[in-house]
Amino acid sequence: MNSYASNTGTHRNLDQLRRHGWRILLTPKNPRLPAGFRFAIDNGAWSCFQQKVPFDSDGFMKLVETHGPAADFIVIPDIVCGGMASLEFSMGWLERLRHLRRLLLPVQDGMKAADIGAILRREPAIGIFLGGSTEWKLATMYGWGMTAAALGCYYHVARVNTRRRVRLAAEAGADSTDGTSATRFSVTVPMLDAAHRQPSLLVPA
């Protein structure tokens, strides 16, 4: 299971992340790629949601144009906790992004596997990005892992900042997770990294 940390300019934290083979999650708000890291692109909707500002579509597209071809994956724009409105918003972006090698479709509070199954069967290069509220995420994490396993698609779980959530993501069959804990506190990297590397016998596959 690959580990992505939110982007940072703190050298001590970056050194710790490099030492343990972590990757960086770029956002429109923090788009500068530190040297020597593999990376993915988040759309930045979560930060906009927290700050109660409109989605930065221009910043997202600039980031995609600069780094998109080399990214491990790109998270399609969505609406945090937006349910089916989020899915409709995401699908409106698909044509602009389809040329990129791996896109992740965010699932948000209220969405079900039946809502995206046909899309993922039709678009085999698209995976699942589990966003949403913390309560909904924890309640549905394993179910989305079962969906990803059944469809054979990539599965990423967002905002995973504790050992317990790392283990839950691993048991759900996640291919990767991201979080801010390793970015903010370098001492947590070894602990979280050990949890990421511990195999699980409970994965949906």
pLDDT of residue 185: 46
Flag whether 91 is in a domain.
yes
Flag whether 90 is in a domain.
yes
Looking at the chain, the whole-number percentage of residues with pLDDT higher than 70 is 89
Quick one: pLDDT band at residue 180, thresholds 50, 70, 90?
confident
Q: Are 44 and 78 in contact (CB under 8 A)?
A: no
Tell me how many domains the chain contains. 1
pLDDT over 80 (residue 11)? yes
Flag whether 205 is in a domain.
no
Provide the greatest CA pair distance for the chain. 45
Q: 33-37, 114-118, 186-190: which has the minimum mean pLDDT?
A: 186-190
Q: What is the span of the domain harbouring residue 53?
A: 2-197
Flag whether 204 is in a domain.
no
pLDDT digits (tens, 9 = 90+) for 105-116: 999 999 999 999
Q: Are 5 and 33 in contact (CB under 8 A)?
A: no
CATH classification at residue 163: 3.20.20.60
Flag whether 15 is in a domain.
yes
Angle between helices 134-151 and 113-122 (to 10 degrees): 40
Written as six digits, the tokens of 17 are: 């992340």
Q: Are 18 and 37 in contact (CB under 8 A)?
A: yes
Token pair 């970056």 in the structure block, residue: 14
pLDDT over 50 (residue 50)? yes
d(CA 159, CA 5): 10
Written as six digits, the tokens of 59 are: 């910043």
pLDDT over 90 (residue 138)? yes
Flag whether 24 is in a domain.
yes
pLDDT of residue 89: 97
Q: Are strands 74-75 and 176-179 parallel, antiparallel or unpaired?
A: unpaired
pLDDT of residue 9: 84
Flag whether 203 is in a domain.
no
| N- to C-terminal Cα separation, the chain | 14
Flag whether 202 is in a domain.
no
